[in-house]
Homo-oligomer: A and B are copies of this chain.
Amino acid sequence: MFYHIKELQYHAKPERPDPLFAKQLQEVLGGQFGEISVALQYLFQGWSVRGNGKYKDLLMDTGTEELAHIEMLATMIARLLEGAPVGDLEIAAKDPIIGAILGGMNPQHAIVSGLGAMPADSVGNRWTADYIIASGNLLADFRANLNAESQGRLQAVRLYEATTDRGVKDMLAWLIARDTMHQNQWIAAIKELEAKENVVVPSTFPRELEKREVSHVLFNFSRGNESATGRWANGPSMDGEGQFQYVEHPQPLAPKPVLKPAPPYIHDTLPSVLKNDAIPPSLY
């Protein structure tokens, strides 16, 4: 169960409206690695933990904080949209700033949301749960979380570079710091789980059931051997189960597949038609 506090976790007030930047800022609200994604990802992971304890608590703590970040961004975007211009291009073009704003802002901010933030990314794609991950295996999922915070902090930093508004920069500096913590925390949690299990997910599948002869082999499928010089092709494997090997000329291990004809009720092209007969002269 949740309670809402009306105050914001941190300030979300720009120096001045900027509808173009509002469009861009949507990315970290409703994009693939925006705050909606991390909030729902952590909460769904938390609700799926079978058992209780510190991992579940950590997921619920962090997921709940991300709800506050959605709120901060929604507030910031609404304020950036205040006073968005509206009007006719020919008139607007006399003032290049207004013209650029009218041409570059997200038209749905005016037509659809009435100057409110939208659950969408910076080009206007609506948020989709295709973005989120919860598998029931925490080591797998904490890696998803570390990735999400890495991508998210990268995007926040890029947005920080793209504005001179001190209010926006102030909020982004806060969110970037929180992403620093969240990367740190998922790294810590991953290390705990790797120490208890193994680095390979899932650790519970018996290794003798997999084809171990290719478990530590780098196949070179790309002309040139630069990749042979990495740690991944030299020395003991990271899971402590073997030695990395490099295969320069990988060969196919199975013959050319030939599929059986489909049954007649499927009406695929008939085998008689598929045969390689000569081209009838009439086709020339």
For A91, the chain B residues whose CB sits under 8 A away are: 164
Q: How far is the CA of A12 from the CA of B258 in the complex (A)?
A: 11
For A49, the chain B residues whose CB sits under 8 A away are: 259, 269, 274
Pick the contact of A8: B134, B257, B273 (CB < 8 A): B257
Verify B68–A1 contact, CB threshold 8 A: yes
Binary CB contact string for chain A from 133 to 163 against chain B (1 if under 8 A, 0 otherwise)? 1111111100110110011011101111111
Binary CB contact string for chain A from 254 to 284 against chain B (1 if under 8 A, 0 otherwise)? 1111111111111111110111101110111
Known: A129-B126, A201-B153, A202-B267. A61 touches B114 (CB 8 A): no
Q: How far is the CA of A132 from the CA of B67 in the complex (A)?
A: 17
Copy tally for this chain in the complex stands at: 6
Q: How far is the CB of A144 from chain B (nearest CB, A)?
A: 5
Chain A residues bordering chain B, tally (CB within 8 A): 211
Q: How far is the CA of A47 from the CA of B114 in the complex (A)?
A: 12
User: Residue of B at shortest CB range from A48?
Assistant: B116
Verify A231–B108 contact, CB threshold 8 A: no
Which residues 39-90 in A have Cβ within 8 Å of B in the complex? 40, 43-44, 47-58, 60-65, 67-68, 70-71, 74-75, 78-79, 82-84, 86-90
For A106, the chain B residues whose CB sits under 8 A away are: 123
Selected A-B contacts with CB under 8 Å, 24 pairs: A1-B71, A11-B253, A31-B111, A48-B116, A50-B269, A50-B274, A54-B226, A55-B274, A61-B227, A65-B219, A65-B250, A67-B67, A83-B263, A104-B104, A106-B123, A108-B121, A113-B134, A114-B154, A130-B131, A133-B151, A157-B205, A160-B209, A184-B237, A191-B283
